[in-house]
Chains A and B, each alone.
Chain A
Amino acid sequence: MKILVGYKRVVDYNVRVQVKADGTGVVTEGVKLSANPFDDIALEEALRLREKGVAEEVVIVGIGPADLTAHLRNGLAMGANRAIHVTTTEAVQPLTAARVLLKLVEKESPGLVIVGKQAIDDDANQTGQMLAALWDRPQATFAGKVEIADGKATVAREVDAGMETLDVDLPAVITTDLRLNEPRFIKLPDIMKAKSKPIDVIELGSLGVDTGDHLKITHYAAPPKRSKGVMVKDAAELVAALKHKGLL
């Protein structure tokens, strides 16, 4: 079985992004970029399935500008067999990303697609579900545990009420939650090896995907600031303050 993994590059999770004063976007120049944390978890899970003999090949997919290559090399160093780089200079919304992934799914015929549950830049939480719908295959979102046997995946999902377990026939789409696994660190020799691993470069325009703008972002704003708080010196003062506000 082949596993396709979505591997997005985002502003690093430790960076507190700043909104541009003119409201046209957030400052991304000179800001540290990293793999989306949920995608590292997706790749880790795919690698573990390969190590268990469930999968033979792990292919990572990135959509973005030419300099995304270095990001994909990180995924290859982590252990992916090869990468597909879909090039575009435009920002890609989830529906377009799902349509691109569908084209690659048709070409590669994977037994499983694993993507992160959400990207920490747009916080959309849509791409995996949209791909599953367009592909007409099952989805198991927010996965906390995955077991694969007999052509199906048994997935424990982190839902609001607790943990839900589903059985889905393969091929399927799984989206990863934080507690699925602990992604491995990249070792230096693996970075060297990754340099010789193949990256297929495909221009987004050549895939025949409808990229028609679905949603238009017209303005970016900083979130409203909370007013400055006060410090109290002990428990009695805290209780008094909360009683004064009618909260206790």
Chain B
Amino acid sequence: MSKILVIAEHLDGKLNGATARAVSAAAAVKPEGIDVLVLSDAPDAVATEAAKIDGVSKVLTVARAENAHPLAAVLAPQVAQAAVGYTHVFAPSTTFGKDLAPRVAALLGVGQVSDVVTVESSHVFTRPIYAGNAIITVEAPASQTVVATIRTASWPAAASSGSAPVEALAIDVALPSHTRFIELKQGKSDRPDLQGAAKVVSGGRGVGSKENFDIIYKFADRIGAAVGASRAAVDAGYVPNELQVGQTGKIIAPELYMAIGISGAIQHLTGIKDAGTIVAINKDGEAPIFEIADIGLVGDLFKILPELERALD
């Protein structure tokens, strides 16, 4: 039988929603147990939140001063030791999980399944390659620990009505001092989180400037949506890089995705393929975004957005 260790992602004492999505993928394996591992300098608040996730058998905490920041080189040896006795180690496919999980896999001497979108059986998974233009079925050896990252956009967040026990775990490994955290510059925003939002409004090169992007923010706020962007808009400096949606940015699956002034390069479409409803607004009727849009509107975004707001009144 399978026993799965899910690595919790957290920031500023709060559990990241990606963790509950990784737990959903773990539950699809139908294991005998799902334990969540919280590595932190002060894990209590995060552990309390993790204990509520449905399907979690136990929350394990490792409290060490070195775990104050998520440094892969520091966390990986601890995860590798904690993984003993588990058949699977899962992490969300966020920048945190992508940084950490391969380091854990290498320490365990196993390959890693990146970006799991479906679980076919305990050792068979599907994942996208070539910017989502092909889906492969991957079989991991039954004799080894399965290390996988979970594409969060493909999994619902497990509900949080549980009450799993929390246990402190003693990890006795020497930790390296060759990697030091200096700072994290966070994009401050009151808007919904891009990766968890039900609605996302994204702007592209067609928005034209940083100042013009206000029209995107304004409309997003009007409908309670998170704001995203294409690579072109980020490269042009209209918005910070953490808003980028696509193959190399964030992969999202909101119920509603509105692409405004985005032509729809392959690399962008990868990030939104699983969205419920895709709306495209673009002045170029031939733009590739219209090939995957559920609803398309050809026209000038600077005229259409104010009209949309009026139509909502």
Task: Report which A residues bind B (CB closer than 8 A).
Answer: 11, 13-14, 16-17, 19, 26, 93-95, 98, 117-118, 120-127, 129-134, 136-139, 141-142, 144, 154, 157-169, 172, 177-179, 213-223, 226-227, 229-239, 241-242, 245, 247-248
Contact = CB atoms under 8 A, between A and B. Distances in A.
Contact of B294 (A160, A168, A214, A229): A229
14 contacts: A17-B133, A19-B133, A94-B102, A117-B248, A122-B129, A123-B114, A124-B112, A130-B103, A136-B176, A158-B241, A165-B181, A166-B182, A219-B136, A223-B133
B102 A144 contact: no
A134 B102 CA distance: 11
Nearest to B299: A234
Interface string B288-313: 00101111111100001001101110
Contacts of B298: 231
B8 to A, nearest CB: 15
Given A124-B112, A214-B111, A160 B137 contact: no
A122 B199 CA distance: 29
Given A162-B187, A220-B134, A234-B307, 8 more contacts: A95-B105, A118-B248, A120-B131, A125-B98, A129-B100, A129-B106, A130-B106, A179-B241
Contacts of B179: 138-139, 166-169
B184 A162 contact: yes
A213 B141 CA distance: 9
B235 interface: yes
B132 A223 contact: yes
Given A129-B99, A162-B240, A218 B139 contact: yes
Given A95-B111, A230-B296, A120 B182 contact: no
A218 B124 contact: yes
B159 interface: no
For the complex, would chain A's binding face be called helix, strand, loop or mixed by DSSP majority?
mixed
A214 B105 CA distance: 11
B134 A26 contact: yes
A162 B294 CA distance: 31
A126 to B, nearest CB: 4
For the complex, would chain B's binding face be called helix, strand, loop or mixed by DSSP majority?
mixed
B273 A138 contact: no
A103 B39 CA distance: 32
B140 interface: yes
Interface of B: 11, 71-73, 76, 94-96, 98-107, 109-115, 124, 126, 128-141, 144, 176, 178-187, 195, 199, 223, 231, 234-235, 240-242, 247-248, 250, 255-256, 266-267, 273, 276-279, 290, 292-299, 304, 307-308, 310-312
Given A123-B128, A160-B94, A16 B105 contact: no
A226 B292 contact: yes
Contact of B256 (A16, A165, A242): A242
A160 B297 contact: no
B114 A129 contact: no
Contacts, number: 253
A14 B130 CA distance: 11
A98 B106 contact: yes
A137 B129 contact: no
B93 to A, nearest CB: 9
B265 to A, nearest CB: 9
B202 to A, nearest CB: 15
Contact of A223 (B134, B176, B183, B297): B134
A28 B52 CA distance: 48
A117 B102 CA distance: 12
Nearest to B281: A238
B277 to A, nearest CB: 6
A-B interface, 10 closest residue pairs, ranked by CB to CB distance from nearest: A214-B111, A235-B307, A133-B106, A129-B102, A126-B102, A130-B106, A219-B137, A165-B182, A239-B311, A169-B178
B106 A95 contact: yes
A241 B231 CA distance: 29
Most buried by A among B107, B179, B234: B179
Contacts of A161: 11, 184, 186-187, 242
Nearest to B127: A123
A122 B308 CA distance: 40
Most buried by B among A163, A227, A233: A163
Nearest to A10: B130
Nearest to A119: B129
Given A95-B111, A129-B72, A220-B135, A229 B184 contact: no
Contacts of B110: 95, 214
A159 B311 contact: no
Contacts of A217: 136-139
Contacts of A122: 129
